Structure 1
Amino acid sequence: MNPQHLSSRLTGALALCAACSSCALVIGAEWDRYSEGAPGSAGTGGATSGAGSAGAPPEEACTPRAMEPCYEGRAQTRDVGSCRSGTRVCNEEGTSWGPCSGQTLPSDEDCATDADEDCNALACGQASWARAFPANAASAIATTDAAGNIYLAGSFVGFIDLGGRRLTPSSATGPDLFVAKLDRRGELVWARQFDETGDNYTPYGIASAGDDGVVFFGWIDQFPIDFGGGPITGDRGGSYIVRLDGAGDYVWQQFYADDSLTDLFIDGSGDIVVSSALGSAPEPGHITQINAKTGATVRSVRTCDEPDGGDCVDEALRRHVAGGPENTVIALSDDTNTRDRATVRTYDSFLKHRWSVDLTSPDGEVDTLDLASDERGGIYVMGGFRGRLQIGDGVTLSTSTAARRETFLVKLSPSGEYEWGKSFGDTGQQVNWQMSASDAGDITLLGNFSGSVDFGGGTLATTTTTDEDLDLVVAKLDAGGSHLWSRQFVNSGGQTWPSGVLIDADNTVLLAGILVGAVVDFGTGALGSADGEAVFLARVPPP
């Protein structure tokens, strides 16, 4: 018997305790029935049959030769999709049921077929739920914690309705900044609102601090703003970084004048790693470790000081960081001046440089979009290019024509060796890409496109004739780059802006973004409206 089934039966038995003095006897009967070698206790068998000795089975557990339906999978998958109930027969003595014969239990989903092998009543890539939070002039980014709770951070001008609390600006000028925690179903747990005096406070990065809340950062150039530690003031712009605990209460805040933070993650020891592009604290082109408990800087490295470092100013505007095994740090930056080079650098847990690999476009251009890593040390780089893209000293990817821009996805080994690379797209738009990697190395991509795109499972094509009404697309590839599934979400008009794709510990995918005058169906019904805006979330279970 499936342990989850047993657990649910025991839970039901425990619920009788409030109304039944023989609660322990009921539990004993359930244990005897569903567990081999169940421990006996005086009177357990007799409590069910009316007689017996310590540890003895009931005299008659079932009617001899009786037959009944049975199923040993999760109850919610019974007779769903490919799953089917079986039958079992009571033995001649009436002391036990025989095996469950003829049942079909859930198995791994094969996205190349129409069958529902995992019996969740969902097609590959179809959301189990999706929610839209109406808003006006809003932005939002998202992250999840180990329990599947969702943290949203963003800004809004007119209002945002979080499904249980409607926030409005503290002043007529707005916008205000908000941070919210939602449960696995997208239901509001709490929301915090911070009054802004300017219009440039939008959070750019967010990460879950495990069970201890959330960390987020953004840019500020008008003062003051107070996240709970006192007003932040200054005479020039800079980056703020703030930590709230799991209840939404203030922990600490930091402000770096003249600096522009670009990305962050939480490493294996719980510290925060951030990348910066400009400024004095941290200095230009830095990667910095921050103590998650206090907000104090632990150590920092100026990437331009490395032997292959290049020009900090040239690399200033686009930089990504991700964590590798044993608290190693992976950084990705591109040359915003010549636009012909992107560089992957890795560092040990003390931010000592390990190795670097360049991705160059000798006759075109290259820019970076996102960076991810898996627990085995695999490194995934996503970007756009024209012409040719050379990875290190070896493999070259090419677009179909020199003038055509395509999106690339490249995997490097833990030591920086090329493993595989792909390019996709056509003469249409492929933009706003987000990427996330599971521990096993499966890659999930989320972006906008017009025209057509093929991730290996067949061509997906839009019906729009402009580059403004872009459709959403999500695709999943395995660690070897092979297509698992891809799905297009048609935009009926307006604009869609993906802002994040996240993978939970159970391999569930969460999609996040903004709908502006757009209506999209993630498989659970239409979301959004043609004359409104909304923040969307959609959760896609693993196939």
Structure 2
Amino acid sequence: MRNGWKRGAQGAAAFAMLALLPRCGGAVDARDEVQDGALKAVAQAALPTICQPRTYLDPRTVVAEHDGAVRNDQPNLNMSSQSTLYVDAAPTRYQSYLRFHLEGEGGELVQARLRLYAKQGTNTGLSFHPVTGGVWESTLTWNNRPMEGPAIATVSSVANDAWLTAEVKGAASDRETLSVGVFPLGDDGAEFSSREASNVSRRPQLDTVFRYDWCTYRGSSTPSQSWAKTLGGAARENAAALFNLPDGTGFVLGGRYSDGPAQAGGAALPGPSGFLVARFNTAAQHQWSRAYGVGQQVSMEAMTVTPLGNVLVVGTYLGSPDFGTGALPYIDPNTAGAGDGMFVLKLSPTGNPVWAHGFRAEKRPGWAEGAVYPTIAVPTAVATDANGSVIVAGHFKGYMDLGGGDIYAGPMSESRDDSTQSLFLAKFDYDGGHQWSQAFYTVDEYTEANALATDAAGNILMGGRSNNATLATPGMRVGTAFVARFTSSGAPVWGYGLKGGAIGRIRGLAALPDGGVAFAGGFNGTFTFQGQTYSSHDDTHDVRPDDGVFGTLTASGGEGWVRVLTTYPSGDVAEQVAVDGAGNLVVKGRVSAYTLDLGGGELGTPGLPRGGALRFVASFSPTGTHRWSRMLGTQVSNAFMAVLPDGSTRLAFTFEGSTPVGATTFVSSGQTDMGLIQFTP
């Protein structure tokens, strides 16, 4: 099925993408055989020079899905439930059969090594044959056994209590199935553990290696990679934010961790859990890293860096955590999920806590006279300006005082049933003093502020999901994807929502040099932009946006250009957008496809190893023309992007296992780790 990467505004041409549903893989067992010289030769990629190729060898071990032995003297006997596979020539002839489901959809099978555990070996040898037809398991007998082909491998002998290994790649009948028969070459019989064996580790196995030739980059320039770095310790570390230092001396990474001490490039950070901030120079050399909220009920939700290199963190908490400046106001831990408090934290350029504030929200419903109930206050985005101010957006229910008196989420937020949440936007000075705060009523329980940015003049840009008339064009339906501009004092300038019947969510914003704004997010349904209609692949969902969208708006909130990404079945989103010094856009996102064409040619390959979403980062000119696009792979999660003025792109991401990104294969320490990488334009 063909799916479209649609380009709008001024009649630009449409691009195409082939999308298939990924399959999740099985257990991975990277044995020494993968390093054999034969496989090294196989790994030489043969892709066109118009892309940057990478060959990936994907080793997996699968167990037999069917097996059984048959005997000629009892031609109707089924032996498939026995724990032993028999092979013998005389006086009774025994033959055994095995079938495996191959788990490398789309790749090229370059190795398939059958491994059988010999309980009793043989001195007269065995032969291995591809087999077709017949029946399996409970109905397998000598009379209806599969039909064999010519031998594809032989062994002259097999030791007792040892593993037999034979290359049987020729027994693969298609991309999904490998069926093999094991026959005697003499009258010294052999016995092997079957898939019914009580010792699971001795059941029949097939060690496979699939080859994937990826096109990882498309563009007019020669791409390169500046550096790559793995960060990880005993804990489960997850990347949560990445920001360049405004003075160009490096960058700051934010992360979360659990299940033990964490590692972010320096000394181990104490466990069992918390969030971390780490600073690196331009070559990704560690400068410092610190942990906060260790062992407490805290969660980092967003982070940014001020012009002077201070770090601002917002998140939620329970209890009364102390980040180093005093305990926050107590929030009852028993209200988890229903009454989380929010914190705002400022760190110095060396990671020392400067100040921290904690806030709570509460319901005061009229239907319960005098009653007060704790409720949620969740900061979801934070930004700063030239003065180092702290600008926070999020959602809450009931009433909340951020320092300037109560703001109110509206009567629907205090409803007995199906209560809704409303957005808030607030500004604090560099010392944490309240400047202003305001709320935006909605009637949508899924309303959120997901993106926040400022421009050179200090104007504030907010994006997310809401039908509030201040944030989106009046009359928009519930769940509209919106972008809104405010002055530095919080006065609304304009609000824009996707026009039509679509719902959606704006996840990323960036100010453009001409005063406009770049946006990125997702949508579901149908909307119009510059007079052209765009529809999602599947418009049956009314909560989760299914397809990606990004583009630009003018300084006055008018429509610039837009791109829409729709693949089968769903799950596409443009997650983040940034702007380089020349006004080019860099977009990061993911699609539910094997291959992806963002305008410069196909990335990926049909059939991605181990399934998952295909993540990408791509650059477009100020008018929307494709400049370059890069595939990040399918095993990367929680990716965050920071773009330099020259267009170089830094990425922080979460990964587990062996994960190829760019020219580097990242290997985790066992649980999830964090990866860092920088690409030049």
Does TM-score exceed 0.5, indicating one fold?
A: yes
Matched, 1:165 2:273: no
Alpha-carbon distance in structure 2 between the residues aligned to 1:228 and 1:111: 47
Q: Work out whether residues 325 and 376 of structure 1, in 8 Å CA contact, stay in contact via their aligned partners in 2.
A: no
Counterpart of 2:474 in structure 1 is none
Matched, 1:247 2:345: no
Identity of aligned residues (%): 20
Give, in angstroms, the shift of residue 462 of structure 1.
4.6
The one-letter code of the counterpart of 1:150 is F
The one-letter code of the counterpart of 1:260 is V
Alpha-carbon distance in structure 2 between the residues aligned to 1:330 and 1:398: 26
Counterpart of 1:27 in structure 2 is none
The one-letter code of the counterpart of 1:161 is Q
| Residues 478-529 of structure 1 deviation map (CA, whole Å, 9 limit, x = unaligned) | 11111000011334xxx42133111124432111110023412322x21124
Q: Work out whether residues 450 and 464 of structure 1, in 8 Å CA contact, stay in contact via their aligned partners in 2.
A: no
What are the residue-to-residue correspondences of 1:216-365 with 2, within 5 Å?
Answer: 216-221=313-318, 223-236=319-332, 237-258=340-361, 259-279=377-397, 280-282=400-402, 283=407, 284=409, 285-292=423-430, 294-304=431-441, 311=442, 314=445, 316-335=447-466, 340-362=479-501, 364-365=502-503
Matched, 1:471 2:602: no
Counterpart of 1:458 in structure 2 is 601
Query: Structure 1 residues 477, 467: CA separation in 2 closer, same or farther (over 3 Å shift)?
Result: farther
The one-letter code of the counterpart of 1:137 is R
Matched, 1:203 2:342: no
Matched, 1:152 2:290: no
Question: Which among 376, 389, 393 is matched to residue 514 of structure 2?
Answer: 376
Structure 2: 5+ residue stretches without partners: 1-216, 333-339, 362-376, 410-422, 469-476
Counterpart of 2:632 in structure 1 is 489
| Residues 284-339 of structure 1 deviation map (CA, whole Å, 9 limit, x = unaligned) | 422111111x11111223344xxxxxx26556434422112411111223139975
Matched, 1:388 2:526: yes
The one-letter code of the counterpart of 2:497 is D
SS at match of 1:277: strand
Q: Work out whether residues 176 and 193 of structure 1, in 8 Å CA contact, stay in contact via their aligned partners in 2.
A: yes
Alpha-carbon distance in structure 2 between the residues aligned to 1:273 and 1:312: 24
| Residues 46-85 of structure 1 deviation map (CA, whole Å, 9 limit, x = unaligned) | xxxxxxxxxxxxxxxxxxxxxxxxxxxxxxxxxxxxxxxx
Give, in angstroms, the shift of residue 459 of structure 1.
2.4
Question: Which among 535, 553, 559 is matched to residue 418 of structure 1?
Answer: 559
Query: Structure 1 residues 204, 432: CA separation in 2 closer, same or farther (over 3 Å shift)?
Result: farther
What's the RMSD between the two structures over aligned residues? 2.8
The one-letter code of the counterpart of 1:270 is G
Q: Work out whether residues 446 and 498 of structure 1, in 8 Å CA contact, stay in contact via their aligned partners in 2.
A: no
TM-score (norm 2): 0.55
SS at match of 1:224: coil
Alpha-carbon distance in structure 1 between the residues aligned to 2:357 and 2:450: 20
Question: Which among 281, 306, 311 is matched to residue 214 of structure 1?
Answer: 311
Structure 1: 5+ residue stretches without partners: 1-109, 117-122, 305-310
Greater fraction of residues in helix: 1
Q: Work out whether residues 260 and 277 of structure 1, in 8 Å CA contact, stay in contact via their aligned partners in 2.
A: yes
Which piece of structure 1 moves more, 443-452 or 399-408? 399-408
Give, in angstroms, the shift of residue 426 of structure 1.
1.2
Q: Work out whether residues 424 and 453 of structure 1, in 8 Å CA contact, stay in contact via their aligned partners in 2.
A: no
SS at match of 1:128: strand
SS at match of 2:327: coil
Query: Structure 1 residues 165, 342: CA separation in 2 closer, same or farther (over 3 Å shift)?
Result: same
Which piece of structure 1 moves more, 465-474 or 179-188? 465-474
Q: Work out whether residues 342 and 360 of structure 1, in 8 Å CA contact, stay in contact via their aligned partners in 2.
A: no
SS at match of 2:308: helix
Give, in angstroms, the shift of residue 165 of structure 1.
1.8
Q: Work out whether residues 341 and 378 of structure 2, in 8 Å CA contact, stay in contact via their aligned partners in 1.
A: yes
Q: Work out whether residues 314 and 335 of structure 1, in 8 Å CA contact, stay in contact via their aligned partners in 2.
A: no
Q: Work out whether residues 425 and 454 of structure 1, in 8 Å CA contact, stay in contact via their aligned partners in 2.
A: no
Give, in angstroms, the shift of residue 204 of structure 1.
1.5
| Residues 254-277 of structure 1 deviation map (CA, whole Å, 9 limit, x = unaligned) | 111132111111113321211121
Counterpart of 1:512 in structure 2 is 652
Q: Work out whether residues 361 and 385 of structure 1, in 8 Å CA contact, stay in contact via their aligned partners in 2.
A: no
Alpha-carbon distance in structure 2 between the residues aligned to 1:538 and 1:219: 29
The one-letter code of the counterpart of 2:580 is S
Alpha-carbon distance in structure 1 between the residues aligned to 2:535 and 2:444: 28
Query: Structure 1 residues 427, 388: CA separation in 2 closer, same or farther (over 3 Å shift)?
Result: same
Query: Structure 1 residues 433, 175: CA separation in 2 closer, same or farther (over 3 Å shift)?
Result: same
Alpha-carbon distance in structure 1 between the residues aligned to 2:535 and 2:228: 38
Query: Structure 1 residues 389, 144: CA separation in 2 closer, same or farther (over 3 Å shift)?
Result: same
The one-letter code of the counterpart of 1:537 is L
Give, in angstroms, the shift of residue 421 of structure 1.
0.8
Greater fraction of residues in strand: 2
Question: Which among 237, 242, 258 is matched to residue 138 of structure 1?
Answer: 237
Q: Which has the higher contact order (CA 8 A, sep 6+)?
A: 2
Query: Structure 1 residues 420, 128: CA separation in 2 closer, same or farther (over 3 Å shift)?
Result: same
Query: Structure 1 residues 530, 403: CA separation in 2 closer, same or farther (over 3 Å shift)?
Result: farther
Q: Work out whether residues 130 and 522 of structure 1, in 8 Å CA contact, stay in contact via their aligned partners in 2.
A: no
Larger gyration radius, structure 1 or structure 2: 2
Query: Structure 1 residues 430, 150: CA separation in 2 closer, same or farther (over 3 Å shift)?
Result: same
